[in-house]
Amino acid sequence: MKPADPGPSGAHPPGADSEPPVWLRFWGVRGSTPTPGPATVRYGGNTACVEVRAAGEIIILDAGTGLRPLGRALAAEFAEQPLRLTLLLTHTHWDHIQGLPYFLPIYRPNNELRILGHEGARQGLAAVLSAQMESPYFPIGFDALPGSVIVEELKEREFHVGPVRVQAHCANHPGACVGYRLFTPQGSIAFFPDNETGYQHPTGPYSARARVPSVWSQCDEEALAGFLDGVDVLILDAQYTAQEYEQHVGWGHGCVDKVVALALQARVRQLFLFHHDPDHDDAQIDQMVEAAQRLVASQRGAVRVEAAREGLRVELPAGDAPADSVFTKTVDIVPDPPRR
């Protein structure tokens, strides 16, 4: 793997006078496994991937199958410009890493991808990510990629991606799993795609090589609510209805009722239900959104609730905007770049 040539991230053209808007776009919103087809066409069937543009940085949250269309869109937008990208992984379950071998920017020698995440396995994060590209699973090995791919295991709860401050916090999910909160010039964004709200997993994340509890193992609900307090955008696992959850306690995924309760407790401004169940069609997700909105209204809460959907672009209000300003939302259809 060759180092990237010096160049901008591409999030903000050099020489621009004003601070660019902060926005995010959903590229994959489904949980567990991709679910293409007519029943999921409105919300989408790709697994977890969210793009964030903030303070001149392009930050990617998880690498599910949504990473493939994101890579093609970046290639179309920036052509031959060198890219420096950061990927934050919450954990290494299959639906959060399976898009990485198909991410077009890592096949161009002038690009750099920095991957940050928890250890994830006894062999370490780099070994987990490279294993899925070994023969006989994939024709191109991790070490043969033309682009520069740098893998770093998280050791601290707080770090920076350029000027963007990032905090990590343990998530309630089997194995080693974290969520992130990004502090941008126009507000904060939290991402917890796999989290069983209201349930304490007995083992919690641990240092697999040392076989002892790690700094990520403090996963109690009050601590999570404090971590999320006042966040502008919360993307949170809400896979099940309350009735479905009764049959899935301990599986590591949230239900709408408890997710709304957490959002109200944490004074969240905008909640996006995420990690949609692969058996839920568009109509069922609509019903879950309506149920969540009724719960907020019954508590006279101020949380805005929607379901994440592929292609949705959410722009955060400017820093000097009133506290009750709405988020600008558009659905972009991003064309594939021409094939060579």
Give residue 338's pLDDT.
45
Q: Provide the residue type at 38 as one letter.
A: P
Q: How confident is the model at residue 324 (pLDDT cuts 50, 70, 90)?
A: low
Higher-confidence residue: 319 or 150? 150
Is 241 inside any structural domain?
yes
Report how far apart, in Å, the C-alpha atoms of 4 and of each of 1, 45, 52, 108, 320 are.
Answer: 9, 32, 21, 9, 36
User: pLDDT category, 132, cuts 50, 70, 90?
Assistant: confident
- Domain count of the chain? 1
In a domain, 251, yes or no: yes
In terms of pTM, does the model score above 0.85?
yes
Say if residue 136 is preceded by a cis peptide, omega within 30 of 0: yes
Query: In whole angstroms, what is the distance from residue 142 CA to residue 159 CA?
Result: 26
Residue 261 is inside which H or E element, if any?
Answer: helix 256-265
CA 62, CA 191: separation in Å to the nearest integer? Answer: 10
Which residue has better confidence, 47 or 17? 47
Q: At 183, which CATH number?
A: 3.60.15.10
Backbone angles phi, psi at 271, to 5 degrees: -110, 130
Q: Which domain holds residue 127?
A: 23-331
Is 139 domain-assigned?
yes
Residue, of 131 and 205, whose pLDDT is higher: 131
Q: Of 17 and 162, which is predicted with more confidence?
A: 162
Distance of CA 38 to the CA centre of its chain: 24
> According to the model, what pLDDT value does residue 226 have?
94
pLDDT of residue 217: 54
Task: Identify whether 336 is part of a domain.
Answer: no
Whether residue 5 lies inside any domain: the answer is no
Residue 23 identity (one-letter amino acid): W
Q: Is residue 17 domain-resident?
A: no
User: pLDDT category, 321, cuts 50, 70, 90?
Assistant: low
Is 164 domain-assigned? yes
pLDDT value of residue 323: 56
pLDDT in tens, 186-219: 999 999 998 888 777 654 444 444 343 455 555 7
Residue 240 is assigned to a structural domain of this protein: yes
Q: Other CB atoms closer than 10 Å to residue 301's CB: what's the count?
A: 18
- The pLDDT confidence band at residue 99, using thresholds 50, 70 and 90, is very high
Quick one: three-class SS letters along 209-237?
Answer: CCCEECCCCCCCHHHHHHHHCCCCEEEEE
At residue 182, the pLDDT reads 98
- Tens of pLDDT, residue by residue over 51-89, are 999 999 999 999 999 999 999 999 999 999 999 999 999
114 has pLDDT over 80:
yes
Round the average pLDDT of the chain to a whole number and report it.
Answer: 85
Task: Give me the half-sphere count of Cα atoms (radius 13 Å) on the Cβ side of residue 63.
Answer: 26
319 Cβ neighbours under 8 A, 6+ residues apart:
185, 186, 187
Give residue 247's pLDDT: 84
